[in-house]
């Protein structure tokens, strides 16, 4: 019944994709990254209803003043920072442990047992690439575009993955399409949601 579970996550992604255009950008993103004070206040009113948000706005302005002199670091600079090594180690351990989850999908795709560990390693590499790529482009495009694009890609990939898994018994090459689609799904998830 794993394919039903996989379809359920696709349904949730589709629902989020449909409702995402109706939500504004994050007020903190609008103020801190874009410098849009009016847009920040408008987003607060849209998210929280009518009211007085001067306290929250003042807190964001203080945060902007504090971070004004702070240099925004790129991915390589962050990786060189010794203070994040415990968090980085935890994240890497989590990524490595997730590799055990994909074995069932690869077995269902009728892949040879001998290549499944290499495919799982490819999944880990895909996750790492998507995390690095997303962290380097999120400031340029904003969360909304990445979420929207990520959910749209995930929905499309899930439809193609279900189709390729259904046809994998009839066409041997579809097994490899399934693996490629899983890699693409992981990359789309890492870039978007």
Q: What is the pTM of this model?
A: 0.49
- Least Cα distance to 153 among 191, 99, 106 occurs for 191
Look at residue 82 in the predicted model and tell me its pLDDT: 87
Look at residue 101 in the predicted model and tell me its pLDDT: 52
Mean pLDDT, the chain, rounded, equals 78
For the chain, give every domain's residue range. Answer: 1-72, 76-191
User: Do 24 and 40 touch, CB atoms closer than 8 A?
Assistant: no
Q: What is the pLDDT of residues 84-110, one digit of tens each?
A: 888 888 777 766 655 555 556 666 666
Maximum distance among all alpha carbons in the chain?
63
Q: Cα separation of 10 and 14, whole Å? A: 6
- Least Cα distance to 25 among 140, 144, 108 occurs for 144
Helix-then-strand count for the chain, H and E: 10, 0
| Count of C-beta atoms within a 10 Å radius of residue 106 | 21
- Least Cα distance to 102 among 115, 87, 85, 119 occurs for 119
Q: What is the pLDDT of residues 136-156, one digit of tens each?
A: 777 777 777 888 888 888 889
For 79, the token pair is 């990786």
User: Do 161 and 181 touch, CB atoms closer than 8 A?
Assistant: yes
């Amino acid at each position: 019944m794993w394919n039903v579970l996989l379809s359920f996550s696709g349904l949730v992604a589709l629902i989020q994709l449909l409702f995402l255009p109706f939500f504004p950008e994050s007020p903190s993103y609008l103020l801190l990254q874009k410098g849009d004070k009016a847009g920040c206040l408008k987003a607060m009113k849209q998210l929280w209803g009518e009211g007085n948000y001067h306290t929250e706005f003042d807190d964001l302005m203080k945060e902007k003043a504090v971070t004004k002199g702070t240099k925004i670091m790129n991915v390589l600079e962050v990786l060189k920072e010794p203070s994040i090594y415990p968090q980085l180690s935890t994240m890497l351990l989590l990524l490595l442990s997730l590799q055990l989850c994909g074995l069932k999908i690869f077995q269902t795709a009728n892949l040879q047992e001998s290549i499944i560990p290499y495919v799982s390693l490819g999944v880990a590499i895909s996750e790492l690439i998507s995390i690095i790529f997303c962290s380097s482009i999120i400031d340029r495009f904003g969360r909304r575009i990445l979420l929207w694009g990520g959910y749209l890609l995930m929905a499309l990939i899930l439809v193609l993955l279900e189709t390729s898994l259904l046809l994998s018994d009839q066409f041997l090459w579809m097994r490899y399409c399934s693996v490629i689609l899983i890699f693409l799904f992981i990359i789309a998830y890492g870039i978007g949601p």
